[in-house]
Amino acid sequence: MAEWDEILHMRQILHADFDAFYASVEQREDPTLRGKPVVVGGRPELRGVVASASYEARGFGVRSAMPMRTALQRCPHAIMVNADFRLYNQVSRQVMSIFRNITSLVEPLSLDEAFLDVTDLVNDKESATDIAIKLKEKVRAVLGLTISVGVASSKSVAKIASDMDKPDGLTVVACGEEREFLAPLTVEKLWGVGPKTAERLAQAGVLTVGDLSSKTNEWMQANFGQVGLQMKRLSLGEDQSPVVVSRERKSVSAEMTLATDSNDPEALHDLVRRLSDRVGTDLEYRGIVAKTVKLKLRLADYTTFTRQETLISPVGSAEGIAEAATKLLLPELSTERFFRLIGVGAGGLVPSSQAQIHMESMTQLRLGGFE
């Protein structure tokens, strides 16, 4: 009986993610960059970091979030390209629409990746794997870019699977084989297990997902609380979370820890600008505008605080966010103050269409006042 229940509820989830997204888009735009180590990110003299590295650059040990300076030490002939967020945003919208042509059950996770629930599309003639192959071909034909796809019975396993065989990969985890698939992987592959948690687990001799799955619920709860129980479920491949089509997010934010604590106004401004770019493109992509802009700051001693401003007219662009965030940053700068982390956030989100109506009606009111 239980087995039938499982089969009846068996879902087929795809996770699709662009390979070296920013770098691949740049290689597509400029054929002279193809086959070469390309890094997209901020300038080394401004303490820039790598946002995306082409697979050629990764061969030299270059990775995302690495200081650009380090990247150029490892790969001196790497070609540096400035990020073109507007273009990435446009490509993102295009790929999401390809996904939505396959199923309306699409949950974007970031600009370059999404979950698709294809359970209802699968039949005797077409498996989830067939759909994944079709999807990869379509993206290549229409956009000239490659994605890697994971196919599994849950979101968490599908996401791990898509990352297994990059670039241009396809990894299928058959129903019932989740545990075997996950067991040899390092615990950090699990959703929500960051470096700190991984270190604590390692101290207890838990290195792989298999190690974690053999810990008792009691042990997990005693050491990690509710999160521990969740980790244990994920380690067994148990994840019932549904593909959520439109997530109502109350805020959009991006933050980054600096490579080394900094009091350098230029580097800090540069970081705020880059974070604002990410937040702004996210807003544009969702067709929303923000009424408040927040700046999160963490000092070298881990003191963390936020500053925020409510704007007279909502902003929905990278420039608008950057302007407000920079204004918030200025009074916080001083030579004695070393920053460890900076975050930029947007809150009070409303659809841009609504914001326009709101502004129009304000104009009308004002006009009315003159009569």
Specify the stretch interacting with Mg ion by CB under 5 A; choose among 13-21, 27-35, 208-216, 266-274: 13-21
Cβ-contact 3, 33 below 8 angstroms: no
Name which of 89 and 352 has its Cβ closer to Mg ion: 89
Q: Give min distance, CB of 166 to ligand DCP, in A.
A: 5
Distance in Å, CB of 157 to ligand DCP, minimum: 17
Residue 326 contacts residue 273 (beta carbons within 8 Å): yes
- Nearest approach, Cβ of residue 111 and Mg ion (Å): 8
CA 288/CA 310 separation, integer angstroms: 16
Q: What is the dihedral of CA 260, 340, 255, 237, to 10 degrees?
A: 80
Residue 265: asked if its preceding bond is cis (omega within 30°), the reply is: no
Nearer to ligand DCP, 28 or 307 (CB): 28
The values of phi and psi at residue 4, to 5°, are -60, -40
Nearer to ligand DCP, 89 or 352 (CB): 89
How many Cβ atoms are within 10 Å of 368's Cβ, its own excluded?
A: 8
Interface with Mg ion: number of residues (CB under 5 A): 5
> Does residue 339 touch Mg ion according to CB under 5 A?
no
Among 112, 239, 277, 284, binds Mg ion (CB under 5 A): 112
Does the footprint of Mg ion cover residue 18 (CB under 5 A)?
Answer: yes
Looking at the annotation, which residues are catalytic?
A: 113
Nearer to ligand DCP, 157 or 212 (CB): 157
Measured from the CB atom, the residue of 151 and 220 that comes closer to ligand DCP is: 151
Give me the DSSP letters along 141-173.
Answer: HHHS--EEEEEESSHHHHHHHHTTT-SS-EEE-
Q: Which does 64 bind (CB under 5 to 8 A by kind): Mg ion, ligand DCP, none?
A: ligand DCP
Cβ nearer to ligand DCP, comparing 113 with 284: 113
Could you tell me whether strands 106-110 and 113-117 are parallel, antiparallel, or unpaired per DSSP bridges? Answer: antiparallel
Token duo for residue 346: 């947007």
Question: Which residue in the set 113, 117, 178, 277 belongs to the binding site for Mg ion (CB under 5 A)?
Answer: 113
Name the minimum Å distance from CB 112 to ligand DCP: 4
Stretch 21-50 residues interacting with Mg ion (CB under 5 A)? 21
- CB 21 to Mg ion: min, Å: 5
Contact between residue 285 and residue 92 where contact means Cβ atoms under 8 Å apart: yes
**Using the rule CB under 5 A, which residue among 17, 117, 239, 277 binds Mg ion?**
17
Map tokens 């997010």 to a residue. 249
213 or 282: CB nearest ligand DCP: 282
Tokens of residue 89, six digits: 């945003």
Residue 166 interface partner, choices ligand DCP, Mg ion, none, CB cut-off 5-8 Å depending on type: ligand DCP
- Out of Mg ion, ligand DCP, none, what residue 117 binds, judged by CB under 5 to 8 A for its kind, is none
The one-letter amino acid at 150: G
DSSP string covering 109-126, please? EETTEEEEE-GGG--SS-
Q: Which stretch binds Mg ion (CB under 5 A): 19-27, 65-73, 188-196, 211-219?
A: 19-27
Site residues (vs ligand DCP, CB under 6 A): 17-22, 51-52, 64-65, 112-113, 166-167
Q: State the nearest-atom distance from the C-beta of 159 to ligand DCP, in Å.
A: 11
The least distance separating ligand DCP from the CB of residue 21, rounded to whole angstroms, comes to: 3
> Are the C-beta atoms of 78 and 71 separated by less than 8 Å?
yes
DSSP 274-300: HHHHHHHHHHHHHTEEEEEEEEEEEET
Q: Which of 194, 186, 266, 183 is nearest to 227 (CA)?
A: 194
- d(Cα 85, Cα 277) in Å, to the nearest integer? 7
Contact residues: Mg ion, CB under 5 A: 17-18, 21, 112-113
